[in-house]
């Protein structure tokens, strides 16, 4: 059985004045799939999302939602899509309930659905509060609630948890994981947080400078050289210029001057770790801290671009 | 089914916009209390029958004044004989006062102050007085700005007093009939003007600020990503504004009716018609000027550019007939003038439908034109 993709992005380009925000992006998303767009600031995530949402138009390329183009199908597609923008303020002096009711009115939904959503997003105690008096996390949950109102087939969330503390972030994750369990909603979310991508999405698309750098499941992304281990270390000496000292074993040291630590990727840790310690000894460098861990998306990103996901 | 959906959208939008407005305490002040205070202040200042007090400078003719007893100065002698002396105080020199009693029109009091020519000119420039008296070769001379009607008034009265050679004239002749019937007082002129201004201000500031702010906050962007009908958003905004303006104007009228006995002489239905047409005109203009920008500073500038000229030209506070003749036909076509004149014709002149059909049609066309243009170019994101 050949499934039709729910979202199809075909060779899409978009530029602003002198910035090429999206530079030839291609991907397909199938029913029930969750995909994370992972990338640093300015990668083009929002621009790409807004083109999928029909808010911006691509300069070149096509976007098909359930096989349809946006042009001419706006009202129909709007009924099937739920979204939250990277930044939206609602009307300050409407209550949570009134705000949801307003949007429910746009979809011709009954009050019952509003109550349901309030329960789902856990804002029952705040229904009578003005939006302006909500905390950042509560506001994000309200935005998510509005996105979920119409039981969307496709859910598009632009940085749903940015700026939240870990607890508030987990609350949003659990709302979304619940939703995934109960429905066949296809989800795209953008994020800077690798952990969020890992938790919520089976597929991850890493983008930078408007291009897809790599995509696949988390395992696929990390599979190549999966045996690699990461050594992260710090030294007593400050500014050791360690990456400029040649070493006979040939391991690559990436020194991060800002964080004052270094990273080495080791293929055979059992053999190479003693060599590394030996190397430190020979150069009279003393370890302050040493940690061995598995490779993460952050490391993958750093090795691909030389930059970290979020600084 | 489709109809039902759309009605629900419209109803929700209207309810949301209404709540948004009435939950701002400033709205109550600027929309309701401020116009009433204006009517009160200006109404009292310009409508109430008060005594008129005018200051007159009398030039001291130095030596002659004190020495020449047998050729006593006309003005001085007159004042000594007929006027009341006001005791000199710290900062005020010798002054005289003549009061012309008048029961019908209110008393007129002239306060004479002896001073030098130089000083008199300074007082004149400051607007402290309008007329200077002097004498040459045994004749009284009057100096005043010919464009200043008030100085003319003083001149006529003074020349009459001094011409009668001492007999202070009792005013209140049989032939004078003060006009205090409804419709000729300043307050009668002012209230419809204030209503028109209120409509313009509330549409222009309220609606454009609201739209620009929602655009800047990306709320418009979020709203149009739903099946919301775009025109409903704008229609609801206008409906709420018109309702608010209706409430505000009614309160203003009730106040003016209670305090100043202002009445509506003409057709109430006609009044409502042109009032709504005016709202639509300004609502349309407001939508048009805020159809693209997401910057409130730019919005402020645009609103000012529209509002300011009309405030000055359209005769809200004073008749625009003081502007040069060539400009009058142009002024009369401004939306604010159309609305203010239309409201006045019903309030004061007792006009009915036939008189307001033309201005109503023009206002409606202005509104519909700008509304459609605004909707066409409207930037939702
Ligand atoms: N309306 C616009 N006008 C001009 N440049 C824009 C506009 N929108 C986006 N850009 C530029 O396009 C690039 C991509 O922006 P975009 O908002 O898509 O990034 P992002 O990945 O969402 O970043 P962030 O993580 O910070 O939200 C940036 O360089 C940005 O400056
Ligand atoms: Mg973004």
- pLDDT for position A113: 95
- Range in A42-56, A73-87, B85-99, B171-185 the model is least confident about: B171-185
- Please report the pLDDT score of residue B67 as a whole number: 43
- This model of the complex carries an ipTM of 0.83
Residue A256 falls inside a structural domain: yes
Question: A57: CA distance to ligand 2 center in Å?
Answer: 16
The answer to whether position A306 is within a domain reads no
pLDDT higher than threshold 50 for residue B70 = no
Chain B residues lying within 8 Å of A89, measured CB to CB: 217-219
For residues A181 and A158, membership in a common domain is answered with yes
Contact list, B230 vs chain A (CB under 8 Å): none
**In-domain check, residue A95:** yes
Query: Number of CB pairs < 8 Å for A and B?
Result: 70
Where is the domain boundary, A221, A236, A256? A221
Boundary (domain end) residue, out of A221, A247, A276: A221
Report the C-alpha gap between A12 and A58 in whole angstroms: 6
A260 in the same domain as A194: no
Residues of B in contact with A108 (CB under 8 A): 4-5, 8-9
- Report yes or no: A133 at the B interface, CB cutoff 8 Å: no
- Nearest chain A residue to B11 by CA distance is A105
- Domain assignment present for residue A301? The answer is no
Provide the number of structural domains found in chain A: 2
- Identify the pLDDT of residue B172: 47
| pLDDT value for B1 | 47
Q: What are the CB-based long-range contacts (under 8 Å, 24+) for B268-274?
A: B269/B353, B270/B346, B270/B351, B270/B352, B270/B353, B270/B355, B270/B356, B271/B343, B271/B346, B271/B347, B273/B353, B273/B356, B273/B360, B274/B339, B274/B342, B274/B343, B274/B346, B274/B356, B274/B359, B274/B360, B274/B363
Q: Whose CA is nearest to atom 3 of ligand 1?
A: A16
Gap between the Cα atoms of B196 and A293, Å rounded: 74
A237 and A158 together in one domain: no
- Residue A34, SS3 per DSSP: strand
Asked if A53 lies within 8 A of B225 by C-beta distance, the reply is yes
pLDDT at A95: 96
Between β-strands A19-29 and A261-266, what pairing exists: parallel, antiparallel or unpaired? unpaired
CA distance B123 to B120: 5
Mean pLDDT of chain B: 85
DSSP B345: H
Pick the residue whose CA is nearest to atom 1 on ligand 1: A16
Name the one residue in this structure whose structure tokens are 């409903």: B232
User: Contact A101/B227, CB-based, under 8 Å?
Assistant: no
**A215/A266 same-domain check:** no
**Residues A144, A275 within the same domain:** no
Structure-block tokens of residue B104: 């019908």
The whole-number pLDDT of residue B44 equals: 80
Q: Would A139 be classed as within a structural domain?
A: yes
Confidence band of B128 (pLDDT split at 50, 70, 90): confident
- For A93, the closest chain B residue by CA position comes to B20
- Does A94 contact chain B (CB < 8 Å)? yes
Tokens 């009057």 sit at which residue? B142
Sheet holding A154-158, edge to edge: A81-84, A154-158, A186-191, A34-38, A203-208, A211-216
**Whole domain around residue A82: which residue ranges?**
7-221
Q: Please report residues of A whose CB lies closer than 8 A to that of B222.
A: 85, 88, 90, 146
Average pLDDT over residues B19-43: 85
pLDDT value for B3:
59
Per the domain annotation, does A195 fall within a domain? yes
Residue A137 lies in a domain: yes
A253 and A281 share one domain? yes
Q: What is the CATH number of the domain that holds A66?
A: 3.40.50.300
Domain boundary among A192, A221, A250: A221
What band does B92 get if pLDDT is binned at 50, 70 and 90? low
Contact B360, B342 (CB under 8 A): yes
Q: Is residue A122 located within the same domain as residue A170?
A: yes
pLDDT at B41 over 70: yes
- For ligand 1, pick from A15, A16, A85 the residue to mutate: most ligand atoms within 8 Å of CB: A16
Question: Which pLDDT score, from 0 to 100, does residue B64 have?
Answer: 47
Q: Both A24 and A85 in a single domain?
A: yes
pLDDT given at position A65: 95
Q: Are residues A46 and A159 in the same domain?
A: yes
Q: What is the average per-residue pLDDT within B244-251?
A: 95
Is A196 inside a domain boundary? Answer: yes
Suggest the residue from B221, B226, B236 to mutate for an interface test with chain A (most A CBs closer than 10 A): B226
Residues A129 and A217 in one domain: yes
Report, as ranges of residue numbers, the positions in chain A whose pLDDT lies below 50: 1
Closest CA to B268 of B290, B246, B284, B289: B246
For A195-233, b where at least 16 C-beta lie within 10 A, e where not — what string? ebbebbbbbbbbbbbbebbbbeebeebbeeeeebbbbbb
Of the listed ligands, the closest to the CA of A208 is 1
Determine whether the interchain pair A107/B219 forms a contact, defined as Cβ–Cβ distance below 8 Å. Answer: no
B12 with A79: Cβ contact below 8 A: no
Q: For chain B, positions 138-157, list CB contacts with chain A under 8 A.
A: none
**Is B66's pLDDT higher than 60?**
no
Shared domain check, A31 and A82: yes
C-alpha of residue A42 to centroid of ligand 2, in Å: 7
pLDDT band at B285 (very low <50, low <70, confident <90, very high): very high
Does B20 lie at the interface with A, CB-CB under 8 angstroms?
yes
Residues of A with Cβ-Cβ distance to B9 under 8 angstroms: 105-106, 108
- Cα–Cα dist B335/B340, whole Å: 9
Is residue A19 within 6 Å of ligand 1 at its C-beta?
Answer: yes
The segment with the largest mean pLDDT, out of A134-143, B56-65, B169-178, is: A134-143
Average the pLDDT over B209-228 and give the result.
Answer: 93
On whether any CB of chain B is under 8 Å from the CB of A89, the answer is yes
Do A72 and A209 have their domain in common? yes
pLDDT at A292: 86
Question: Would the pLDDT of B181 be above 60?
Answer: no
């Amino acid at each position: 059985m050949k499934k039709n993709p729910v979202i199809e992005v075909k060779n899409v380009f978009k530029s602003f004045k002198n910035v090429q925000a999206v530079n030839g992006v291609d991907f397909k998303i199938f029913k029930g799939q969750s995909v994370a767009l992972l990338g640093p600031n300015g990668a083009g995530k929002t621009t790409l999302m807004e083109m999928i949402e029909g808010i911006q138009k691509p300069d070149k390329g096509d976007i098909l939602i359930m096989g349809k183009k946006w042009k001419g199908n706006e009202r129909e597609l709007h009924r099937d899509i739920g979204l939250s923008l990277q930044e939206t303020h609602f009307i300050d002096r409407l209550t949570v309930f009134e705000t949801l009711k307003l949007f429910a009115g746009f979809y011709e939904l009954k009050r019952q659905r509003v109550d349901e959503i309030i329960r789902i997003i856990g804002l029952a105690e705040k229904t009578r509060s003005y939006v302006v008096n909500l905390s950042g996390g509560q506001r994000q949950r309200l935005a998510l609630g509005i996105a979920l109102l119409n039981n969307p087939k496709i859910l598009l969330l632009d940085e749903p948890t940015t700026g939240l503390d870990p607890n508030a972030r987990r609350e949003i994750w659990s709302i979304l994981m619940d939703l995934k369990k109960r429905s066949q909603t296809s989800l795209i979310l953008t994020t800077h947080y690798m952990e969020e991508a890992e938790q919520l999405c089976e597929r991850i698309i890493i983008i930078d400078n408007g291009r897809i750098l790599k995509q696949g499941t988390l395992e696929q992304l990390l599979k190549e050289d999966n045996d690699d281990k990461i050594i992260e270390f710090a030294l007593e000496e400050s500014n050791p210029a360690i990456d400029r000292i040649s070493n006979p074993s040939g391991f690559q040291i990436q020194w991060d001057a800002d964080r004052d630590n270094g990273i080495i990727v080791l293929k055979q840790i059992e053999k190479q770790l003693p060599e590394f310690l030996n190397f430190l000894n020979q150069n009279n460098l003393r370890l302050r801290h040493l940690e061995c861990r598995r490779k993460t998306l952050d490391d993958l990103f750093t090795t691909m671009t030389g930059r970290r996901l979020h600084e | 089914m489709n109809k039902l959906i759309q009605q629900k959208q419209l109803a929700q939008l209207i309810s949301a916009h209404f709540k948004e407005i009435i939950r701002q305490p400033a709205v109550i002040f600027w929309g309701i209390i401020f116009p009433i205070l204006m009517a009160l202040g200006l109404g009292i200042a310009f409508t109430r029958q008060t005594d008129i007090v005018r200051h007159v400078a009398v030039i001291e003719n130095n030596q002659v004044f004190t020495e020449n007893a047998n050729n006593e100065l006309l003005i001085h002698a007159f004042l000594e004989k007929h006027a009341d002396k006001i005791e000199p105080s710290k900062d005020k020199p010798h002054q005289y006062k003549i009061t012309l009693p008048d029961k019908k029109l209110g008393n007129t009091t002239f306060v004479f102050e002896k001073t030098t020519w130089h000083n008199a000119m300074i007082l004149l420039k400051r607007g402290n007085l309008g007329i200077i008296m002097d004498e040459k070769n045994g004749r009284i001379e009057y100096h005043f700005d010919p464009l200043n009607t008030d100085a003319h008034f003083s001149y006529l009265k003074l020349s009459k007093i001094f011409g009668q050679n001492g007999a202070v004239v009792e005013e209140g002749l049989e032939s004078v009939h003060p006009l205090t019937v409804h419709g000729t007082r300043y307050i009668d002129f002012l209230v419809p003007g204030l209503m028109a201004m209120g409509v313009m201000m509330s549409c222009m500031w309220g609606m454009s600020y609201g739209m620009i702010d929602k655009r800047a906050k990306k709320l418009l962007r979020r709203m149009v990503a739903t099946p919301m009908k775009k025109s409903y958003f704008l229609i609801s905004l206008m409906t709420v504004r018109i309702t608010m303006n209706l409430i505000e104007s009614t309160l203003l009228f009730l106040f003016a009716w209670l305090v100043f006995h202002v009445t509506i002489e003409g057709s109430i239905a006609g009044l409502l018609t042109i009032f709504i047409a005016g709202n639509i005109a300004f609502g349309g203009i407001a939508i048009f000027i805020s159809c693209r920008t997401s910057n409130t500073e730019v919005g402020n500038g645009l609103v000012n550019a529209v509002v300011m000229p009309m405030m000055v030209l359209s005769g809200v506070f004073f008749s625009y007939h003081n502007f040069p003749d060539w400009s009058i036909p142009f002024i009369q076509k401004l939306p604010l003038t159309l609305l203010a004149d239309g409201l006045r014709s019903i309030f004061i002149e007792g006009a009915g439908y036939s008189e307001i059909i033309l201005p109503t049609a023009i206002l409606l066309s202005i509104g519909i034109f700008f509304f459609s243009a605004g909707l066409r170019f409207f930037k939702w994101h």
